[in-house]
Amino acid sequence: MTEKIILASGSPFRKALLVHAGVAVEAVPAEVDERALEAPLKDSGISPEDVALVLAEAKATEVSERKPGALVLGCDQTLSLGDEVFHKPADMEAARRHLLALSGKTHQLNSAVVLARDGAVLWRHVGIASLTMRKLDPAFIGRHLARVGAKALSSVGAYQIEGEGIQLFERIEGDYFTIVGLPLLPVLAKLRELGAIDG
């Protein structure tokens, strides 16, 4: 007996990962203001991993309250460089500044997932990956951004490792799914445990 999972996200990429894994999923984007939720957390000393969890939980519970009885998966990802948390760049200049800041350093991607039903959290998990960017020449950053265009604005790090962004790195520790924003193996294991998918 499997059940339809609701993904509290408008991300076509996250939905595709689940669909390709054989999970029946419906996307219902959460109606939450992420920046407003995050603002009071900034000076609280909360870790970037916990910021991602707070946001993922807010999305999962908001949608689960609108969809009674449904199993809802909320996701969020933060990028942290030390104590600094990065957000999706607003424009190409912000993308350029992101890549300059990350150049030659190791940053962390924190991919949080939360399962909720009827406003109650059933499970939380954060997958973490460490990525070391090679030292980038500023002129190369400009040429790279010109090639990838607006795609650079769709992720917190201004890169996609599934595309040309892989050329920016010298070392990656962590699984692919965590890096692209959905730690799929722990999610599938929990869905099997809950009897939501065939196991």
* Share above pLDDT 90 across residues of the chain, in percent, rounded to a whole number: 80
pLDDT of 179-191, one tens digit each?
Answer: 989 999 999 999 9
Pair type for strands 120-133 and 169-173: antiparallel
Q: Which of 50, 76, 137, 198 is catalytic?
A: 76
3-state secondary structure labels for all residues of 74-89: EEEEEEEECCEEECCC
Phi and psi angles of residue 6, each rounded to the nearest 5 degrees, phi first = -105, 130
Residue type, 66: R
5-193 domain in CATH 3.90.950.10? Answer: yes
Average pLDDT, the chain: 93
| Residue 91 annotated as catalytic | no
Instruction: Tell me, yes or no, if the pTM score tops 0.85.
Output: yes
Average pLDDT over residues 112-135: 97
Average pLDDT over residues 99-128: 97
| CB distance 164 to 174 below 8 Å | no
- pLDDT, residue 132, reads 98
| CB distance 118 to 71 below 8 Å | no
Domain residue spans in the chain?
5-193
Average pLDDT over residues 21-33: 94
